[in-house]
Structure 1
């Protein structure tokens, strides 16, 4: 028997029952973001030399909306096409051994589809496509929400992490954070505040930059003042009250002093005028 016929015969004895492909759950992504389709596969096994060995896979394919990715079906990735020139946004992160993970960047409306993976050996005797596939949904925008790493009241000096999240993936899209409507310098999906200060209190929101309709509902953060801060605040209040009282007393005394000076000055002026009038000689009229 020729070697080729012998290999085919052994493959048939082994049976095509062990091959399989496992996909990730359906994926939802915001337009412009990057999503990753997790995938693993197991080739068939054949008996060679009295032991089970995996069939060598030489071709891996991903296609859209086709049940088995066969024939002239347009593919989004095919390792037999050098550099995958037709779909540069589709990047294969897997191999030909068991990892079939695919990454899609810069999501567009045309990427919304059911994608399936196909594997082939050299002689195309061990070929398999899991028809279930993985569904990719693309949305223009989805409202974000903020989750906190801490529940309950927060005190000065503690730490908390706020996370901006949504049901759809927004990987590689910039997140903008706001406190009371004012933009913060942080741009990551998580905002870490430590150590907390009283001025960290406020209403926080997050949004996807350059994406419409994604701003979150406000998340209220209230930082309670510690004992030391409360004591300092009381002292400052007492000190301020004392200063205000002293200032009022000084103003009153100054006013009274000014009024007294005016009264004394008026008396002096009046007496001076009376004295001058008394010193003047009486008028003498000569008789003609």
Structure 2
């Protein structure tokens, strides 16, 4: 009889202990997690167990139901804390006390599916697996276009928007835009073209800012028409930088030239009195020389006149004397003949 009572008491205690286990042992995980292809996805997880008993967690396990439907003790697991080498893109970022988060890096379609968490303790029957699984889904970034004109080709001057979206609920990630596989300075979910230009033609895509591998498929944009010179100038930041630098250099050059000219002018003004004094001295010397030359010319002219007078006077006297002699001779001859006739 006593044995029967002891057996019944043992069963009652076992039932009570199991009830306590069911009440205090738990794993909290979401029902679904959505991630962008090529990015990292974290599965939030917390676990609890009776803290009033000397219980220690000895092993943490994550399994994928694609590989292991029941996720029991036999495995296999995508992560097992007892293993030193787990799959490279699965990282346990929790601990052995309460946090059981799992990080899946560079996620792709192979990583989608349902996951369960299981932990093992030092207590007999102290093994617990999450009561439900978490469904991990993978989504791609997509680029769509909205235009001011629904029909016809895109021409220069049209307005349009490129929008980067992901169908994961609650996601508002930082984005990066690419043109022809080269990063642009644009960020945010919407890329706006208020007045599209021909040079805006190209293949556009978007990606999570810190995950280039999450890049979306490209969307092609072709703009018909030719950009005007004015639109190119107004739309080119580089052009304005060049113009600004050139203008600044030109202003500096003008200032330097102006300062140089002013300095030279001041120097000339300072030297003018000295030059004027020298010029006056030169003019005085020149006038003196000219006066002396004039006086010399006058003296020479007077001497020439005197010499001329001396030379002319003897000639005139000689000529008159000769003429008188001739006249006397003629007159003498005539007179002699007339005397003979009268006799």
Query: TM-score, with normalisation over the residues of structure 2?
Result: 0.41
Q: Is the radius of gyration larger for structure 1 or structure 2?
A: 2
Compare the two structures and name the one with the higher strand fraction. Answer: 1
Q: 1 or 2 for the larger relative contact order (CA 8 Å, sep ≥6)?
A: 1
Compare the two structures and name the one with the higher helix fraction. Answer: 2
